[in-house]
Amino acid sequence: MKSYPADYELSTPRSLDGALKLLHDEPGRWTPIAGGTEIMVLYGAGKLTTRKFVSIAVTELREISEDSESISIGGGCSFTQIRRHAGIQKHFPMLAQCASWTGGIANQNRGTIGGNLANASPAADSPPALFAYGAELELISARGKRRIPYEQFHLGYKKTALAPDELIETVHLPKRFDDSLRYVRKVGTRNAQAISKICVAATARIHHGRFDEIRIGMGSVAPTPLRLSATEKVLLGSDLNDAAIFEARRALTSETAPIDDIRSTAAYRTLVAGNLLEEMLRTFAAASTGAAT
């Protein structure tokens, strides 16, 4: 155990079990630290509310495994690992793209996917792709493991399904989107080194001009990263025409609640979210009929 100024403590267990034991024995007293790219910003700003940290930079959380059905990403994998992984580039290119948008290179080397999700910023870049790809999260504690759809993870602003003694162990991605249409955009002051004003990722299947499946994830439009379930419902089974696009834009506006903040205004976000949705739907329509986009 090392001592830091102002009574900060950092425990550095060598194994995942060691970290889980500490979290379990004194629930809520220890804060996990992975890459530290969120925590060190708070430290620098004097905004840390806790003083005891347990490092979870352990090998068990830093592996990406792949089989014929899925790819499983350890919660401690960095964005550099993710964007460079051949299987992710091939089967989940939007996630590789979002990883390459997550800050600059130094940030991608340290920042982890587990930290991105647990930090629960509505503007985070990886959530939209995880909604679009139907991700599931495996949560682990000394009590055992549980697996939940990513949709059930965010409970409110900065509130997640994680218990105080739990960690995000794995992000599971099913390999069933290779033939889907896809769309991904980040709107920010710059692509990297800037938090999104709006980010969106979607997958879709269209049969005879109608949506068989559509999954849309969006960031910076609500207190949590959001799957646009109401908008998807309007689109499912409907003809992909101007009327459907109009109704989808309307559904999007009612299920989102963007805010004014330092990066943008609610009105701008609402307009851009609708424009991106429309661009996405017209791109899908053109791709499904073989027209140039």
| Residues found near ligand FAD in the complex (CB under 6 A) | 31-39, 41, 56, 75-76, 101-103, 107, 110-112, 114-116, 118-119, 124-125, 162, 167-168, 195
Nearer to ligand FAD, 114 or 217 (CB): 114
Length of the chain measured in residues: 293
User: Tokens in use for 232?
Assistant: 């998807």
Q: Partners of 31 in the beta sheet? A: 53
Nearer to ligand FAD, 102 or 270 (CB): 102
Q: Pick from 100, 91, 102: which is nearest to 64 by CA?
A: 91
CB of 141 to ligand FAD, least distance (A): 10
With a CB cutoff of 8 Å and minimum separation 6, the contacts of 252 are: 228, 230, 231, 273, 274, 277
Distance of alpha carbon 8 from the chain centroid: 30
CB of 117 to ligand FAD, least distance (A): 8
Using the Cα atoms of residue 229, residue 82, residue 76 and residue 119 in order, give the sign of their dihedral.
negative
Which residue's beta carbon is nearest to the bound ligand FAD? Answer: 115
SS (H, E, C) 200-259: EEEEEEEECCEEEEEEEEEECCCCCCEECHHHHHHHECCECCHHHHHHHHHHHHHHCCCC
CB of 70 to ligand FAD, least distance (A): 19
Nearer to ligand FAD, 76 or 217 (CB): 76
Q: Is 167 helix (H, G, I), strand (E, B) or coil?
A: strand
CB of 37 to ligand FAD, least distance (A): 3
CB of 183 to ligand FAD, least distance (A): 19
Which residue is it, tokens 């696009």?
245
CB of 124 to ligand FAD, least distance (A): 4
Nearer to ligand FAD, 34 or 200 (CB): 34
Residue 56 and residue 167 in contact, taking contact as beta carbons nearer than 8 Å: yes
Nearer to ligand FAD, 144 or 290 (CB): 144
Nearer to ligand FAD, 34 or 277 (CB): 34
